[in-house]
């Protein structure tokens, strides 16, 4: 195999390289979720609650339908999670002003505290990984992740990025 770009391009799309990427993604995702999962152990909450808290923190006042679309689960599934979070006073559900059918979701102080704990743990993990890998690697990481999303998902993602910026 000749040296340089051509050799790299050929090599980098072998099934072996792809499989390593697939496995790396699998193992990395475990590491990525381990922190929050561990924090939630024994609290009666799980990953589903974490995700709801995260996106409510991210875009306060979001209505249920929007959150549903982002999470990609059924309303029955989300509702169970939301019900417990509201009962525990982690999340507040306010009736929409313009459209009274809608419920807008906000974190309570208690909810924000829990969400903060979880976010801190996950951000710390992410920050350490970013530090180890360096800025150039991070840019590449983000590019590949975006390419891995399907187009519907990417819509949600970009909507969120704009909302947050």
Binding mask 129-158 for a copy of itself (x = CB under 8 A): xxxxxxxxxxxxxxxxxxxxxx--xx-xx-
What Å distances lie between residue 110 and 17, 40, 42, 106, CA to CA? 46, 15, 18, 11
Least spacing, CB of residue 145 vs a copy of itself, in Å = 4
Per CB under 7 A, 49 contacts DNA: yes
Per CB under 8 A, 6 contacts a copy of itself: no
Question: What string of DSSP letters covers 35-50?
Answer: HHHHHHTTTT--HHHH
Closest CA to 36 of 26, 23, 45: 45
Per CB under 8 A, 41 contacts a copy of itself: no
Token readout for 112 is: 């924000």
Q: For a copy of itself, which residue of 49, 51, 66, 104 counts as binding (CB under 8 A)?
A: 51
Residues binding DNA (CB under 7 A): 44-49, 63-65, 68, 72-83, 93, 96, 98-103
């Amino acid at each position: 195999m000749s040296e340089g770009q051509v050799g790299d391009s050929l090599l980098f799309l072998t099934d072996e390289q792809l499989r390593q990427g697939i496995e790396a993604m699998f193992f990395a995702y475990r590491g990525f979720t381990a922190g929050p999962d561990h924090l939630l152990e024994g609290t009666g909450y799980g990953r589903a609650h974490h995700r709801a808290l995260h996106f409510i923190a991210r875009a306060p006042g979001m209505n249920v339908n929007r959150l549903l679309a982002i999470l990609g689960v059924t309303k029955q599934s989300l509702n169970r999670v939301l019900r417990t979070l509201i009962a525990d006073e982690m999340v507040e559900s306010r009736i929409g002003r313009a459209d009274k059918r809608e419920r807008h979701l906000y974190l309570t102080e208690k909810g924000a505290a829990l969400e903060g704990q979880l976010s801190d743990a996950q951000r710390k993990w992410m920050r350490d990984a970013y530090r180890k890998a360096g800025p150039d690697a991070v840019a590449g990481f983000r590019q590949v992740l975006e390419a891995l999303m399907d187009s519907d998902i990417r819509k949600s993602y970009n909507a969120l990025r704009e909302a947050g910026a």
